[in-house]
Amino acid sequence: MMGFRVMALIMLMAVLMCYLSCVESIVRHYQFNVEKKSISRLCSSKPIITVNGKFPGPTLYAMEDDIVIVKVVNHVQDNVTIHWHGVRQIRTGWADGPGYITQCPIQTGQSYVYNFTLTGQRGTLLWHAHINWQRATVHGAIVILPKRGVPYPFPKPDKEEIIILGEWWKSDVEVVINRAMKSGIAPNVSDAHTINGLPGPAPNCTSKGYTLHVESGKTYLLRIVNAGLNEELFFKIAGHQLTVVEVDACYTKPFKTDTIFIGPGQTTNALLTANQKFGKFIITLSPFMDTIVATDNQTATGIIRYKGTLAFSPTSLTTIPPRNATPMMINFMDSLRSLNSPKYPAKVPLSVDHSLLLAIGIGVNPCATCVNGSRVVAGINNITFVMPSTALLQAHYYGISGVYTDDFPANPPTPYNYTGNPPANMQTNNGTKVYRLTYNSTVQIVLQGTSMVAPESHPTHLHGFNFYVVGNGIGNYDPVNDPKKFNLVDPVERNTISVPTGGWAAIRFRADNPGVWFLHCHLEVHTTWGLKMAFLVENGKGPNQSILPPPIDLPKC
Ligand SMILES: *[C@@H]1O[C@H](CO)[C@@H](O)[C@H](O)[C@H]1NC(C)=O
Ligand SMILES: *[C@@H]1O[C@H](CO)[C@@H](O)[C@H](O)[C@H]1NC(C)=O
Ligand SMILES: *[C@@H]1O[C@H](CO)[C@@H](O)[C@H](O)[C@H]1NC(C)=O
Ligand SMILES: *[C@@H]1O[C@H](CO)[C@@H](O)[C@H](O)[C@H]1NC(C)=O
Ligand SMILES: *[C@@H]1O[C@H](CO)[C@@H](O)[C@H](O)[C@H]1NC(C)=O
Ligand SMILES: *[C@@H]1O[C@H](CO)[C@@H](O)[C@H](O)[C@H]1NC(C)=O
Ligand SMILES: *[C@@H]1O[C@H](CO)[C@@H](O)[C@H](O)[C@H]1NC(C)=O
Ligand SMILES: *[C@@H]1O[C@H](CO)[C@@H](O)[C@H](O)[C@H]1NC(C)=O
Ligand SMILES: *[C@@H]1O[C@H](CO)[C@@H](O)[C@H](O)[C@H]1NC(C)=O
Ligand SMILES: *[C@@H]1O[C@H](CO)[C@@H](O)[C@H](O)[C@H]1NC(C)=O
Ligand SMILES: *[C@@H]1O[C@H](CO)[C@@H](O)[C@H](O)[C@H]1NC(C)=O
Ligand SMILES: [Cu+2]
């Protein structure tokens, strides 16, 4: 009897091991119920929109090359879409998620199955709602583990921990932005920052902060995600350095830092070595802003607590980075380099087929019904993007005319001193324009921040691709001298880049993914104001280079 049990166990283990190592890719099934829920620890009884009643939402776990199937069911009155931020979505633009760009929204009572493969990607990403301001509460982490048997290119951590940074409003976020759009002035800033959904002590809220329990001598891989709406953030732990090993699901050359700088939509994996014996150490989360724009100045706090630390022992504190710590931000960005190893090479395009200069910033348009008789807007190359009512990808695939035009300008219509005194006329044009790219062409985009109204840092996100950040600088991009300083060897690879305040960033990518791909500032307020456009990448030759047909349950407008 005993022998039979042992044999059965051995057989079961053999089957299991084969399942885990023999199968090329695993299909991961998830169901996301979008529903309202009151979260009492947020010191408000106001229900928020959540996935499966959780804030932050569930973590999506998978392995490189896995197929992911997520059935999203809408149980709320609002329209819903979900974006898998940083997932390449090769030929599966239908599953990318930005509302009215790649799909019509999932309406109340409807559902939609997102179906995509994590081809050649591993690391930390995030998923979030991609319609209106819903992503304030509808977001979560994506953890893509390396394929079985493939190690990390850094010492194996003892434990992994997901740390999701967010912003929290007492008011309904849709009310906040709708009121701002009516009045024409900037929306309210958030009321608190959160670490894994915990604000820590905040005015009139005794909510406890986040605690990470550690053991002396062990190493922890922190998977840090900025799921906030409108603020770039500094993350710090008292008495400890962090070793950055990956950003936006791309391995980096490891480097040590006291402070992590992270923009909305960005992710950073960092190793934390618990090299103290005992104690409690504060974690701080505070905003970065080096211009006149308002921020939520409430620092969220948490603690790292060593095993065996007495309850009454004091917490070691740290200095909080000043709000305008530009050198800290620049230093962090400039320390990032692709790993560029034989296994993970940096495939930087060395020649450029399409060279674009995109001037990104704020503008002011007349508005008779607004508070000041004017409305704050934003745009790219003087175009404030107007959302269509038919999704661009559907219009492209089915050849529906009148939804968009493909004349998005590669350069600002009237060159000016972008970072000098702003011109007296700060008006913009409206348009729903895309920029057309042939399959497999190479693209360079210089994102040039402008000083219209106020210069500001724009964390700019491109869907459908990773890009290499080949250069950046302060002031106006110099097309003669700046390219000489480009890093074409080991530039960081990512999907969201913070363009410095009053400066520029140059990115390169290969347009090897057919479809319609959104490019926008990941500060949600700027996206709403119109700082967005899309690339239309044509099909290449044959089915392998063409977009797949749409799923049958693709929502209709
Ligand atoms: C997902 O997409 C693949 C490839 O198009 C298809 O074969 C498969 O049936 C789809 N799965 C689901 C659950 O829709
Ligand atoms: C914005 O903030 C002001 C001042 O704190 C507050 O009175 C107002 O209710 C807020 N508006 C919204 C829409 O939350
Ligand atoms: C609106 O007008 C007020 C008062 O003149 C001014 O302080 C404020 O800066 C203006 N806001 C915008 C967005 O123009
Ligand atoms: C905290 O509550 C008190 C009393 O209700 C109120 O006066 C104060 O404005 C509140 N503070 C904040 C920051 O909401
Ligand atoms: C946040 O801090 C900045 C700089 O100290 C200050 O100018 C701004 O008024 C503060 N914002 C709020 C909402 O208190
Ligand atoms: C642009 O404006 C800046 C700031 O006023 C100034 O320093 C710079 O010289 C100007 N550049 C050109 C080309 O005029
Ligand atoms: C932008 O477009 C508006 C509206 O056509 C025009 O008045 C303005 O001069 C343009 N600005 C720039 C910098 O091109
Ligand atoms: C752009 O659209 C807005 C709102 O629809 C409208 O008020 C404005 O006049 C338009 N501007 C131009 C230059 O067409
Ligand atoms: C894209 O172009 C590169 C460089 O010319 C070439 O090596 C590669 O095979 C092309 N890829 C496809 C899918 O055509
Ligand atoms: C298309 O891709 C599949 C799977 O990657 C591959 O097996 C097949 O050979 C490719 N076909 C062509 C024509 O390249
Ligand atoms: C939801 O989306 C549909 C389709 O685009 C649209 O007709 C409807 O007005 C939207 N509903 C809301 C509440 O925004
Ligand atoms: Cu995004």
Phi, psi torsion values for 426, nearest 5 degrees: -110, 20
Q: Which of 46, 178, 185, 188 for mutating ligand 2's site (highest number of atoms within 8 Å of CB)?
A: 188
The per-residue pLDDT for 1 is 45
- Does the beta carbon of 546 sit less than 6 angstroms from any atom of ligand 9? no
Starting at the earlier edge strand, list the strands of the sheet with 159-168. 192-195, 159-168, 219-226, 267-273, 242-247, 250-257
Q: What is the pLDDT of residues 438-496, one digit of tens each?
A: 999 999 999 999 999 999 999 999 999 999 999 999 999 999 999 999 999 999 999 99
Q: Which residues contact 300 (CB under 8 A, 6 or more apart)?
A: 165, 192, 193, 194, 195, 198, 199, 200, 202, 209, 284, 285, 286
What atom of ligand 9 comes closest to residue 541's alpha carbon? 14
Torsion of CA 86, 88, 93, 99, to 10 degrees: 0
CB-ligand 8 contact for 539 (6 Å cutoff):
no
Main-chain dihedrals φ then ψ at residue 527, nearest 5 degrees: -60, -50
Distance in angstroms (rounded) separating the CA atoms of residues 473 and 446: 11
Nearest Cα residue to 113 out of 172, 53, 144, 68: 68
| Among 304, 330, 308, residue whose Cα is nearest residue 317 | 304
Distance 388 CA to ligand 11 centre (A): 12
**pLDDT at residue 72, as a whole number:** 98
How far, in Å, from the CA of 122 to the mean position of ligand 1? Answer: 21
pLDDT score at 5 = 60
539 lines ligand 2 (CB under 6 A): no
Ligand 2 touching residue 183 (CB < 6 A): no
Determine the residue of 544, 545, 548 to mutate for testing ligand 10's pocket, defined as the one with the most ligand atoms within 8 A of the Cβ atom.
544
pLDDT score of 42: 82
CATH 3.30.300.160 fits 21-145, yes or no: no
* Centre of ligand 4 from the C-alpha of residue 204, in Å: 6
CA of 475 to the centre of ligand 6 (A): 8
Q: Give the nearest ligand 8 atom to 375 CA.
A: 7
CA distances from 48 to 44, 169, 245 (A): 10, 10, 34
Q: Helices marked H in 337-447 — which ranges?
A: 392-398
CATH 2.60.40.420 fits 354-545, yes or no: yes
Q: Is the CB of 557 under 6 A from ligand 11?
A: yes
Please check whether residue 135 is in contact with residue 129, taking contact to mean a CB–CB distance below 8 angstroms: yes
Intervals of the chain under pLDDT 70: 1-24
| Closest CA to ligand 2's atom 2 | 188
* H-run or E-run covering 185: none
Centre of ligand 6 to C-alpha 504, Å, is 15
Q: Which of 495, 499, 408 is nearest to 450 (CA)?
A: 499
The closest ligand to the CA of 431 turns out to be 8
Could you give the residue range(s) of every CATH 2.60.40.420 domain in the chain? 21-145, 159-335, 354-545
Pairwise CA distance, residues 458 & 449, whole Å: 8
- Output the pLDDT for position 2: 47
Q: CA torsion, points 341, 347, 348, 354, in degrees to nearest 10?
A: -170
Query: Could you tell me the two tokens for 359?
Result: 């001037």
Protein residue whose Cα sits closest to atom 10 of ligand 11: 79
Which pLDDT score is estimated for 23?
Answer: 57
Residue spans of beta strands (DSSP E) within 181-249? 192-195, 211-214, 219-226, 232-237, 242-247
DSSP codes joined into one string, 29-66? EEEEEEEEE--GGGS----EEEETTBSS---EEEETT-
Domain spanning 159-335: CATH superfamily:
Cupredoxins -  blue copper proteins (2.60.40.420)
Atom of ligand 11 nearest to the CA of 100: 5
Report the pLDDT value the prediction gives residue 206, as an integer from 0 to 100.
77
| pLDDT for 371 | 94
Q: What is the pLDDT of residues 206-262, one digit of tens each?
A: 778 999 999 999 999 999 999 999 999 999 999 999 999 999 999 999 999 999 999
Q: Can you say how many angstroms the Cα of residue 526 is from the centroid of all Cα atoms in its chain?
A: 14
- Write out the DSSP string of 320-332: PPPTT-HHHHHHH
Ligand 5 centroid, distance to 297 Cα (angstroms): 6
DSSP state of 135: G
Atom of ligand 11 nearest to the CA of 77: 13
Contact 253, 244 (CB under 8 A): no
HSE-CB for 17 with a 13 A CA cutoff: 7
Q: Residue 312: how many CB atoms within 10 A of its CB?
A: 5
- The C-alpha atoms of residue 424 and residue 373 are separated, in whole angstroms, by 16
